[in-house]
Amino acid sequence: MSSPLFGTICLVGIGLINSSIARAARLHGLAARIVTLDASEQACETALRLGIVDAAGSDPAALLAEADLIMVGTPVGAMAAVGQAIGPHLKAGAIVSDVGSVKMAVVRDLLPHLPDTVHFVPGHPIAGTEHSGPEAGFAELFQGRWCILTPLPGTDPGAIDKVTQLWTAMGSMIEIMEPLHHDKVLAITSHLPHLIAYTIVGTASDLEGDMQQEVIKFSASGFRDFTRIAASDPIMWRDIFLNNKEAVLEIIQRFTEDLTALQRAIRWGEAETLETHFRETRAIRRAIIDAKQA
Amino acid sequence: MSSPLFGTICLVGIGLINSSIARAARLHGLAARIVTLDASEQACETALRLGIVDAAGSDPAALLAEADLIMVGTPVGAMAAVGQAIGPHLKAGAIVSDVGSVKMAVVRDLLPHLPDTVHFVPGHPIAGTEHSGPEAGFAELFQGRWCILTPLPGTDPGAIDKVTQLWTAMGSMIEIMEPLHHDKVLAITSHLPHLIAYTIVGTASDLEGDMQQEVIKFSASGFRDFTRIAASDPIMWRDIFLNNKEAVLEIIQRFTEDLTALQRAIRWGEAETLETHFRETRAIRRAIIDAKQA
Ligand SMILES: NC(=O)c1ccc[n+]([C@@H]2O[C@H](COP(=O)([O-])OP(=O)(O)OC[C@H]3O[C@@H](n4cnc5c(N)ncnc54)[C@H](OP(=O)(O)O)[C@@H]3O)[C@@H](O)[C@H]2O)c1
Ligand SMILES: NC(=O)c1ccc[n+]([C@@H]2O[C@H](COP(=O)([O-])OP(=O)(O)OC[C@H]3O[C@@H](n4cnc5c(N)ncnc54)[C@H](OP(=O)(O)O)[C@@H]3O)[C@@H](O)[C@H]2O)c1
């Protein structure tokens, strides 16, 4: 039998994403040993009970000593603190990666705390659900989904290759991108949709009592699709918006202009403007179906 | 064997909704005979080939002569023309109903063309998909979903009861509402979500070529959920917005104010404002799950 891709993987934070990595890495035999570093005793106990890690605890020295790959799976606002906590305990030659939803801020906050002896390969799997915590993960989460890696120039190609092999083995396709470009693309594909969903669900929850009950009752007509993504973790999303401010503000601006144009067309009864706009958007749906991401 | 609820049902327009009614009515034995009146020869042929109707064609006199229930399933902008076409041919005592997504405009446009000898019970099933046409329908579409009826004061209770029995037999729960109230509730649960989805997908399709390809590729991060509802029929949605102008403009206004507040919180890094807002919206999701409409 060939030896696994990594000796020890240490998952920093054992939430939805990292617990899915634990399950997938185990399923595909990608590590000899999987451990997790998490401040929450309860999360550690859950992970051990689920049998998805071999060891769990809050002591960085003990858990990082043998780690060949460190995967950081905390909210992006915690990256600086995580860097401080893990930096001094990393083994020379180890690879540090992460799954954070923004990449400029992770490079800014995590990298300064890492010793020169380790390799840094930031990443972001384009997969997830609205649920959180170690119980919510599952091994198939990354199957058929993209994972974006944003290594800095000069990163050891061997380290990038090993992280690529990990994601590929878990079923993902890899795309390499610059961190800034990543943040711009995700501002439109992910951050704006979530902000819009949070907004519209908020608008509904501000309605008077009776109306609100009816909105819930008749939500199958479109609204409920937004509530699912607006049920995502508040801390995670707070951190994303605070850490991708520029790109998000820029795309909100464009969106608002476009909404104003449609609003105007409705007000003035411009049937053709509406119909033409609604026809064009169908092409994008078709392209997504063709790209097998529907 | 007890006799079916209706002798003949005539479906005016055989699209997604009416073809689903045809299938469900057949499945549950709700009519002795089901016919469709549709201007499109192709749609009639398809409906006959699928075996979901007993007769199909474009001659109102022939198809309406025996109809006990007439269900209008055309875009709401076509209601006046439909009224003109069917009005002179309706049997005394027949019930006219519809499935249009707005109700004030249907009352305004359809009712004036109906003779006093028929009963008018406007309705709106809160169920649908983004697909159109007779092939897209299925018998289970209304199962577990609400159907809103908006009869005017003074309508024969017997007629309301028969329409109620039809929807109940197809698996729906019934809610009675005033047309104006219906339009306000649907503006938030359905019309605003669709407008927002059309807007954001439009914003994405205006991006430069490369960026657009990437948006499609990485759409699984939130965006694709919007593209599904933005793939709905352009004519249907044009008509909805033009015929529920006031309520839609009012709710866009509220939405825009709320979006501006979140935008401001992002700009000024107000972590707590964001987190609190994102926490509150989860309650609505939970309520929808509890109401079994998720
Ligand atoms: N969910 C998605 O759809 C998705 C998709 C792609 C990428 N991501 C990214 O993946 C990362 C993890 O997301 P997730 O959905 O897996 O979240 P999650 O289920 O909420 O898990 C977050 C983990 O981070 C830990 N954590 C929270 N605050 C921390 C802090 N200040 N210091 C150290 N650890 C902390 C939590 O520990 P406790 O056990 O103590 O709470 C938990 O183990 C985030 O950066 C997110 O942006 C998420
Ligand atoms: N789709 C949904 O999710 C949904 C949900 C609830 C309610 N509704 C409402 O249900 C109604 C039908 O929607 P649908 O989704 O079933 O639409 P659809 O599949 O596009 O079918 C529309 C039908 O109306 C006919 N039609 C179109 N324009 C017409 C005109 N000017 N005069 C006469 N007939 C015309 C079409 O005939 P051809 O065969 O000639 O094209 C077709 O048979 C609409 O009022 C809509 O607002 C839709």
Mean per-residue pLDDT over chain B, rounded: 96
One-letter amino acid for residue A185 of the chain: V
Chain A to chain B Cβ contacts (< 8 Å): 297
| Distance of alpha carbon B123 from alpha carbon B164, whole angstroms | 10
Structure tokens at A242: 């605070």
One-letter amino acid for residue A252 of the chain: I
Is residue B73 pLDDT above 90, yes or no? yes
Ligand nearest to the CA of B147: 2
| A294 confidence band (pLDDT: 50, 70, 90) | confident
| CATH 3.40.50.300, domain B6-177, yes or no | no
Partner-chain contact A258 B294, CB within 8 Å: no
Residue B284: the pLDDT is: 87
Q: What is the pLDDT of residues B26-61, one digit of tens each?
A: 999 999 999 999 999 999 999 999 999 999 999 999
Average pLDDT, integer, range B64-85:
98
| Distance of alpha carbon A152 from alpha carbon A251, whole angstroms | 25
Q: What is the pLDDT of residues B87-107, one digit of tens each?
A: 999 999 999 999 999 999 999
Q: What angle do CA B267, B268, B271 make, to 5 degrees?
A: 105
Task: Kindly report the protein residue whose alpha carbon is nearest to atom 4 of ligand 1.
Answer: A128
Task: Kindly report the protein residue whose alpha carbon is nearest to atom 37 of ligand 2.
Answer: B13
Mutation for A interface: B189, B212, B237, most A CBs within 10 A: B189
Is residue B1 pLDDT above 60, yes or no? no
Nearest to A63 by CA among A10, A21, A18, A15: A10
Ligand nearest to the CA of A148: 1
Which strand ranges, in their side-by-side order, compose the sheet holding A119-125? A55-57, A31-37, A6-12, A69-72, A95-98, A119-125, A146-149, A173-176
Partner-chain contact A221 B189, CB within 8 Å: yes
Contact between B29 and B1 under an 8 Å Cβ cutoff? The reply is: no
Contacts of B125 in chain A (CB under 8 A): none
Task: Look at strands A119-125 and A146-149 and give their pairing.
Answer: antiparallel
For ligand 1, the distance from its centroid to the CA atom of residue A75, given in whole angstroms, is 5
Q: Measured from the CA of B239, which atom of ligand 2 is nearest?
A: 47
Residue B220: the pLDDT is: 87
| Distance of alpha carbon B241 from alpha carbon A256, whole angstroms | 18
Residue A124: the pLDDT is: 98
Give A1 to chain B, closest Cα distance, Å: 36
Report percent pLDDT > 70 for chain B.
100
Residue of B146, B195, B258 with shortest CB distance to A203: B258
Give B89 to chain A, closest Cα distance, Å: 31
More confident residue, A224 or A93: A93
Partner-chain contact B193 A255, CB within 8 Å: no
How many other C-beta atoms lie within 10 A of the C-beta of residue A54? 17
SS3 sequence of chain B: CCCCCEEEEEEECCCHHHHHHHHHHHHCCCEEEEEEECCCHHHHHHHHHHCCCCEEECCHHHHHCCCCEEEECCCHHHHHHHHHHHHHHCCCCCEEEECCCCCHHHHHHHHHHCCCCCEEEEEEECCCCCCCCHHHCCCCCCCCCEEEECCCCCCCHHHHHHHHHHHHHCCCEEEECCHHHHHHHHHHHHHHHHHHHHHHHHHHHCCCHHHHHHHHHCHHHCHHHHHHHCCCCHHHHHHHHHCCHHHHHHHHHHHHHHHHHHHHHHHCCCHHHHHHHHHHHHHHHHHHHHCCCC
Question: Does residue A125 sit in helix, strand or coil?
Answer: strand
Q: Measured from the CA of A233, which atom of ligand 1 is nearest?
A: 20
Contacts of B204 in chain A (CB under 8 A): 188-189, 284
Candidate of B44, B48, B74, B237 to mutate for ligand 2, largest count of ligand atoms within 8 Å of Cβ: B74
Q: What is the pLDDT of residues A132-175, one digit of tens each?
A: 999 999 999 999 999 999 999 999 999 999 999 999 999 999 99
More confident residue, A257 or B293: A257
Report percent pLDDT > 90 for chain B.
89
Residue A292: the pLDDT is: 83
Contact between B35 and B9 under an 8 Å Cβ cutoff? The reply is: yes
Residues with CB under 6 A from ligand 1: A 13-18, 38-40, 43, 73-76, 78, 81-82, 99-101, 124-125, 128, 132-133, 233, 236, 240
| Distance of alpha carbon B236 from alpha carbon B225, whole angstroms | 20
Give B100 to chain A, closest Cα distance, Å: 13
CATH architecture observed for domain A181-290: Orthogonal Bundle (1.10)
| A291 confidence band (pLDDT: 50, 70, 90) | confident
Task: Kindly report the protein residue whose alpha carbon is nearest to atom 37 of ligand 1.
Answer: A13
Task: Kindly report the protein residue whose alpha carbon is nearest to atom 41 of ligand 1.
Answer: A40
Q: How many CA atoms lie within 13 A of A30 on its CB side?
A: 26
| Distance of alpha carbon B115 from alpha carbon B243, whole angstroms | 24
| Distance of alpha carbon A72 from alpha carbon B132, whole angstroms | 45
DSSP designation for A151: P
Contacts of A267 in chain B (CB under 8 A): 245, 249
Partner-chain contact A269 B242, CB within 8 Å: yes
| Distance of alpha carbon A71 from alpha carbon A163, whole angstroms | 10
Strand residue runs (E) in chain A: 6-12, 31-37, 55-57, 69-72, 95-98, 119-125, 146-149, 173-176
Contact between B171 and B144 under an 8 Å Cβ cutoff? The reply is: yes
B35 Cβ contact list (under 8 Å, min separation 6): B8, B9, B10, B11, B53, B54, B55, B56, B63, B67
Residue of B205, B221, B281 with shortest CB distance to A201: B281
What are the sequence ranges of the domains in chain A? 6-177, 181-290
Q: Which residue has the tokens 């109906």?
A: B114
